[in-house]
Amino acid sequence: HLPSLRVQVLIRTIRTARTQAEEREMIQKECAAIRSSFREEDNTYRCRNVAKLLYMHMLGYPAHFGQLECLKLIASQKFTDKRIGYLGAMLLLDERQDVHLLMTNCIKNDLNHSTQYVQGLSLCTLGCMGSSEMCRDLAGEVEKLLKTSNSYLRKKAALCAVHVIRKVPELMEMFLPATKNLLSEKNHGVLHTSVVLLTEMCERSPDMLSHFRKLVPQLVRILKNLIMSGYSPEHDVSGISDPFLQVRILRLLRILGKGDDDSSEAMNDILAQVATNTETSKNVGNAILYETVLTIMDIKSESGLRVLAINILGRFLLNNDKNIRYVALTSLLKTVQTDHNAVQRHRSTIVDCLKDLDVSIKRRAMELSFALVNGNNIRGMMKELLYFLDSCDPDFKADCASGIFLAAEKYAPSKRWHIDTVMRVLTTAGSYVRDDSVPNLIQLITNSVEMHAYTVQRLYKALLDDISQQPLVQVASWCIGEYGDLLVSGQCEEEEPIQVSEDEVLDVLEGLLVSNLSTPVTRAYSLTAIMKLSTRFSSVNRIKKVVSIYGSSIDVELQQRAVEYNALFKKYDHMRPALLERMPIMEKTATNGPTDIAQTNGETDSTILDTKHLPSITHPARRCNYHICFCLAGIPPMTAYNKNGLKIEFTFERSNPSPNIAVITIHATNSTEADMTEFVFQAAVPKTFQLQLLSPSSNVVPALNQGSVTQVIRVLNPQKQQLRMRIKLTYTHKGSPVQDLAEVNNFPPQSWQ
Amino acid sequence: MQFMLLFSRQGKLRLQKWYVPLSDKEKKKITRELVQTVLARKPKMCSFLEWRDLKIVYKRYASLYFCCAIEDQDNELITLEIIHRYVELLDKYFGSVCELDIIFNFEKAYFILDEFLLGGEAQETSKKNVLKAIEQADLLQEVRALATA
């Protein structure tokens, strides 16, 4: 009776288990029996037991105690034993364990066995899992077999050589002589594996590549024969002769033709032939066409051939088979930079793919669409992309919105169109828009001076409809705060101006403050907006009331703002109009790379936030500007330290092109009656961060909150870890030195995420 | 090809062939994740997906999923043909193959695969030659002891 019968009985038994526990019990029992059998060195049943072990291993149970048994099986003279032994070795052993090296001698013997099926087993095992040491030891044997006339062994030796080269690249040279007449073989198995071997060698070594270029004519001939020859039953797949070989030859040609005029020319005709004559009704034909297209695009082909290739991809896009559409889009994405005009011709088909049901196809179509947008097609493309944004998966919305903003910024035909497009994105995908879009959009709106009235009107109307989408609400609040006067005076030219009163506007903004839908950041925006309106509206009393109410808000950020705005009303009312006047046109912030951490030049900051140039004292109201301006960054300020009359607040600016850098400004104020002199602020951060402290505005913190000391800290946080800081404060107060250490752990998540 | 996995609709592994060295733990993790990902795919989706830095090509035949991980330069469409060829070989060998054949004769499924692919690449493109080799090897199992080298 054959060993596998008993194995099958075990399999049947295990499958009757109704629970995991029952199965485990059966397995444990059987494993115990197998273990004792192994201990008894039973030769007869070793094979059967290892086979059973392999089954149990597949179910997920440990089988390492069978490793040595596999080696014993490999050394046996029974073919059944060797078959299972080698299979067991491939499944249970891996090169990390020294045990595998014990195989080496057996494999060496079997490579020279008189029975080719045994040689085949050892070649297969070596080529599948041979470690570098084994490969070094046995490379010579493999090389010998590469030269045999036995095609059954020769084809295996070729792939085994590929594995050896992958594990020990230095050994590649020794296989060179054996490759001499590999391509003269008639046997397709040998041809296929030879082409794979040649490909591996050419990919690894430029010298090999030059050496093998002379094979191009021979490869072309073989390919031609495959196409032209009649029906060959042995290699036919749906009317195509050995598609596997055709594809590998095309891939090798690609490597040989790349960057080489002569080789590219030599393969030009055959590529054109394959491209035009291959049957496209089945996947197999399309697989060949696909490889052909990749080759045409990579070598130095004539422009006619390139256009042919792109057109094939264009036809692929119309194929019913979604797999074909998928590879077409992937390939087009690769070539859109180099063959932009040719790809443009297929734009409408690509855009149609936005409506495909497959998620991967939609994503590629979206990426490709963005790559194809230009000044000429912006209006049409944007229509399609906005429609796509409306209906696409939530996973796509953020990327799509960002892509639309970018495209609009580059190619907007008019400011009005730009604002409308931005509005459309905010209203349809407002909650998916990335946080950094908010400051960018605010900048865009500020700089589109002639559109202010139109923009604020549209944003106001959008708020009336929906206050759930935070980025939209934030931009709208900001706008209303800036341009609320234009709103109530009905100055819109672009469309019918709406009639709205100051109270209605304030109702809306106050509604945002109380709504559960508003995040703390949004509330901060709306409170500041309300404050700004105090210099644009006449209902100042109402605004004063709101501001004073929030002076006792449980939200600390809101409270802080309200208290300061209150102070603005009470003590610094004469400065209020100047502080809250319209924002000037903003300079685009330059990119801050991680290397900038070494620079002390603060010019890259927007001028308003350039704290280094601020006067050091007598403008406590200046602090309000920081608070107004941090709204632009969207990160609320925090109190880092507050003890013995010394209060230190941190305000944040995010370096948006490089979100790994947080720029923090410290504001130190002193509520006691005496100045704090010789004030020094120091900070330390954990190892994964880097910190740079710029010079302070001064080292005297004036008494009674009459001014502040400011200082800029830059923190590089490449691992996006939670920001933590230890600070040390030293100063002299009423003649005595004071020193204190503190941990700052309450950084808002937006400052480091 | 880096690896091939065969699993049922319930996520039970029926065959695993690894062409890259990985620890048992890593193999289990990869298998678990990939099986989950593929089983979550809807019928209308295409046979390819990107997973980590690999391309995954999968196709369902009756109750079994055939799943291959290939590298960036490999041709997805021809990989589908490789999978199909393997199924044809199993079908010819077992005579109208079904999942139970592969469960009860898993070692045979491996032997056939190892005559078709070696180190992740096709070693023989003729169906006939693969089946012939398996047939001869099966016969050799009947022999008591092999002639020594």
Q: Tens digits of per-residue pLDDT, A205-227?
A: 999 999 999 999 999 999 999 99
Task: Find chain B residues with C-beta within 8 A of A129's C-beta.
Answer: 21
The reported pLDDT for the residue numbered A690 is 86
The B residues from 5 to 24 touching A (CB cutoff 8 Å) are 13-16, 19, 21-24
Task: Find chain A residues with C-beta within 8 A of B78's C-beta.
Answer: 243-244, 247, 284, 287, 291
The reported pLDDT for the residue numbered A415 is 87
Where does the pLDDT of residue A380 fall: very low under 50, low under 70, confident under 90, or very high at 90 and above? Answer: very high
What would the mean pLDDT of B64-81 be, rounded to a whole number?
Answer: 96
Task: Find chain A residues with C-beta within 8 A of B146's C-beta.
Answer: 77-79, 113-115, 118
Please check whether residue A166 is in contact with residue A160, taking contact to mean a CB–CB distance below 8 angstroms: no
- CA-to-CA distance for A424 and A406, rounded, in angstroms? 14
Select from B114, B116, B135, B138 the residue whose CB has the most chain A CBs within 10 Å, as the one to mutate to test that interface: B114
Task: Find chain B residues with C-beta within 8 A of A112's C-beta.
Answer: 149
CB–CB contact A234 B128 (8 Å): yes
CB–CB contact A80 B141 (8 Å): yes
Percentage above 70 pLDDT, chain B: 96
Q: What is the pLDDT of residues B4-53, one digit of tens each?
A: 999 999 999 999 999 999 999 999 999 999 999 999 998 888 999 988 88
What Å distances lie between residue A731 and A682, A683, A699, A727, A737, CA to CA?
Answer: 12, 15, 9, 13, 6
Where does the pLDDT of residue B147 fall: very low under 50, low under 70, confident under 90, or very high at 90 and above? Answer: low
Q: How many CB atoms lie within 10 A of CB A148?
A: 14
Please check whether residue A118 is in contact with residue A149, taking contact to mean a CB–CB distance below 8 angstroms: no
CB–CB contact A159 B16 (8 Å): no
Task: Find chain B residues with C-beta within 8 A of A54's C-beta.
Answer: 106-107
> Taking 70 as the threshold, does the pLDDT of residue B146 lie above it?
no
3-state helix, strand, coil in chain A (%, to 5): 65, 10, 30
Task: Find chain B residues with C-beta within 8 A of A134's C-beta.
Answer: none
CA distance A173 to chain B (A): 20
The B residues from 37 to 96 touching A (CB cutoff 8 Å) are 44-50, 73, 75-78, 80-82, 85
Q: What is the pLDDT of residues A429-472, one digit of tens each?
A: 888 888 778 888 888 898 888 889 999 999 999 999 988 888 89
Where does the pLDDT of residue A613 fall: very low under 50, low under 70, confident under 90, or very high at 90 and above? Answer: very low
Mean pLDDT value across chain B: 94
Q: Which of A345, A324, A326 is nearest to A336 (CA)?
A: A345
- Partner-chain residue, chosen from A8, A115, A244, that has the shortest CB–CB distance to B147: A115
Which of these ranges, A528-542, A578-592, A700-714, has the smallest mean pLDDT?
A578-592
Mean pLDDT value across chain A: 87
What would the mean pLDDT of A552-572 be, rounded to a whole number?
Answer: 88
Nearest CA in chain A to B19: A128
> Taking 50 as the threshold, does the pLDDT of residue A591 lie above it?
no
Q: How many CB atoms lie within 10 A of CB A273?
A: 16
Residues 6+ apart with CB under 8 A from A20: none
What Å distances lie between residue A451 and A493, A494, A582, B20, CA to CA?
Answer: 9, 8, 14, 61
The reported pLDDT for the residue numbered A4 is 37
CB–CB contact B126 A156 (8 Å): no
Query: Residue A667 pairs with which residues in a beta bridge?
Result: A649, A710
CA distance B9 to chain A (A): 15
The reported pLDDT for the residue numbered A435 is 78
The reported pLDDT for the residue numbered A97 is 79
Nearest CA in chain A to B88: A237
CB–CB contact A244 B106 (8 Å): no
Select from A145, A192, A289, A355 the residue whose CB has the most chain B CBs within 10 Å, as the one to mutate to test that interface: A192
Which of these ranges, A187-201, A294-308, A425-439, A529-543, has the smallest mean pLDDT?
A425-439
Select from B27, B146, B148 the residue whose CB has the most chain A CBs within 10 Å, as the one to mutate to test that interface: B146
- CA-to-CA distance for A461 and A495, rounded, in angstroms? 12
Which tokens is A384 given?
A: 């399609």
Please check whether residue A84 is in contact with residue A4, taking contact to mean a CB–CB distance below 8 angstroms: no
- Partner-chain residue, chosen from B15, B28, B146, that has the shortest CB–CB distance to A115: B146
Which of these ranges, A230-234, B35-39, B97-101, has the smallest mean pLDDT?
A230-234
Q: How many CB atoms lie within 10 A of CB A342?
A: 20
The reported pLDDT for the residue numbered A657 is 52
Where does the pLDDT of residue A112 fall: very low under 50, low under 70, confident under 90, or very high at 90 and above? Answer: very high
Percentage above 90 pLDDT, chain A: 60
CA distance A594 to chain B (A): 27
Where does the pLDDT of residue A588 fall: very low under 50, low under 70, confident under 90, or very high at 90 and above? Answer: low
Which of A310-324, A568-582, A715-729 holds the top average pLDDT?
A: A310-324
Which tokens is A750 given?
A: 């937006």
The reported pLDDT for the residue numbered A706 is 83
Where does the pLDDT of residue A654 fall: very low under 50, low under 70, confident under 90, or very high at 90 and above? Answer: low
Which tokens is A163 given?
A: 């594995």
Task: Find chain A residues with C-beta within 8 A of B25's C-beta.
Answer: none
CB–CB contact B46 A360 (8 Å): yes
Please check whether residue A417 is in contact with residue A443, taking contact to mean a CB–CB distance below 8 angstroms: no
The reported pLDDT for the residue numbered A605 is 32
